[in-house]
Structure 1
């Protein structure tokens, strides 16, 4: 028996058609069909009933599918074990280009990476201007949109959410207005005029009755600092607010400000051990954020 044919069998079960499984495996449908024939001959029984609209496993085939899936999980665990053992072999510098909110998100969560990959150095380059990955200005980009360049590999990492927050002291001093959302009598913190077209600032300035922010900042973390130290209400990424112990949510979630976060890198870096290590770690970080909001 060709054990690799069992992997193809799993793809057939997942896709439901030979054509779909062949495309995922990088084979022609005719080649995949021949491989399936060879596997059925090797096991001595029919595994799949083939119809014009797709494939249905036989009773025996369903049992073999389940075993093939177990083999797939074992193969993945072998790869993970290999990666753990090879962690010290990955080395070099990985440059990540991202914006301010996501820069804070990464820098406050990357410490465990160094323990697992001590020879990989990480540079987090913060800018509102996206760096050109094709020209290798950076290795990886984390951005709130999906890039369209054909030579890039992209991966959806999650959704960044935002809320309206203030310090506990501000909420106490303006308790009546805070409770009834009478914004006109409360102080606000926002972006300065050159950044007033940012989506979060447009939302803030359109809030019914809200005054123009009396404190205006040229960078997002300035808004966090102002809000955390009692300057007023401000729009913050929810993960930022969750990291603070003395903030109160006036509006915990502003759905229209949600941002889909995409990782992208040049396809030529897919086999780089140092880049793969960083990408895998960020996948874990964003997975935890999706589950816990932190």
Structure 2
């Protein structure tokens, strides 16, 4: 038999396609991934991965092992979820993945109230822009701005996050739209709906800078670097920012909550889901249409 830890590292390489990416996802170093993969190949006496200069490619045997290993992984997680549901009282840890802007500017403000109301539940919150897998237990619950599509998840729309254009009150071109320069996303986020909206509103006007996350957009706008498309629930409360009128359409993203179907009745998971439902649906900033 093979070591499951070795197989887990192989799965990460197979999914991501690089040793460095697999290492980041597993929170280990590059050498550990390489060592684990080599050990698995030695155990199986089969080459699973072709090491290329900048990536990895599965061999024919590696592709088949990858398919079978994914089924094993799903069954292992299913057993884990079954035991959680069968044995767990209203206590324990619940992991929540959410967009960084929701974590930093909204969720953290409610954590004290949650802790007072539910002292037995430890909430572990991770701010992640990427789509995570609930089937692989990368989180118990996910909040996302794109509707999750995993077949094993139960999804509910909680509200809408409105965006508009903002600039520092000291921005020199604040009242001269023809001279606006825009803060946009870098090439790695070219497919984001916010980017398409921003570029459509800009209509050929200059780009001041490219930044890969919304927190950076906020800081750059506060510093007077240009005009940014920001979530209204964040920017409207900043006394140093001004919402600027423009001819283009406003923009909004739906806020979705997802949970694996096997975990949705787990008491502590239900508690966190009800908490999220309450704080989002009762906040006017997330019920106003764009």
TM-score range, shorter chain: 0.5 to 0.7
How much does 1:209 deviate? 4.8
In 2, distance between residues paired with 1:93 and 1:165?
38
Q: 1:223 aligns to what?
A: 217
Structure 2: runs of 5+ lacking an equivalent: 1-88
Asked if structure 1 preserves the Cα contact closer than 8 Å seen for 2:183 and 2:210, the reply is yes
Q: Does 1:211 align with 2:205?
A: yes
Structure-2 change in CA distance of 1:146 and 1:137 (3 Å) = same
Q: Does 1:195 align with 2:189?
A: yes
Query: Alpha carbon RMSD of aligned pairs, Å?
Result: 2.6
Q: 2:149 aligns to what?
A: 148
- Please state whether the residue corresponding to 1:161 is helix, strand or coil: strand
How much does 1:210 deviate? 4.8
List per-residue Cα deviations over 1:116-174 (Å, max 9, x = no partner).
Answer: 1123222222223221111212100111233334432221101111100011111xx32
> Residues 82-161 of structure 1: matches in 2 within 5 Å?
90-104=90-104, 105-161=106-162
Picking from 251, 259, 267, the partner of 2:253 is 259
Structure-2 change in CA distance of 1:265 and 1:204 (3 Å) = same
Structure-2 change in CA distance of 1:252 and 1:156 (3 Å) = farther
In 2, distance between residues paired with 1:280 and 1:129?
24
List per-residue Cα deviations over 1:237-257 (Å, max 9, x = no partner).
Answer: 111112322211114897563
Structure-2 change in CA distance of 1:155 and 1:214 (3 Å) = same
List per-residue Cα deviations over 1:53-102 (Å, max 9, x = no partner).
Answer: xxxxxxxxxxxxxxxxxxxxxxxxxxxxxxxxxxxx73211111222333
Asked if structure 2 preserves the Cα contact closer than 8 Å seen for 1:238 and 1:293, the reply is no
Number of aligned pairs?
199
Q: Does 1:174 align with 2:167?
A: no
- Please state whether the residue corresponding to 1:112 is helix, strand or coil: helix
Picking from 224, 234, 241, the partner of 1:240 is 234
How much does 1:175 deviate? 4.7
In 2, distance between residues paired with 1:289 and 1:226?
27
TM-score computed with the length of structure 1 as normaliser: 0.60
Structure-2 change in CA distance of 1:147 and 1:187 (3 Å) = closer
In 2, distance between residues paired with 1:145 and 1:209?
25
Structure-2 change in CA distance of 1:122 and 1:255 (3 Å) = farther
In 2, distance between residues paired with 1:95 and 1:251?
40
Bigger-Rg structure (1/2)? 1
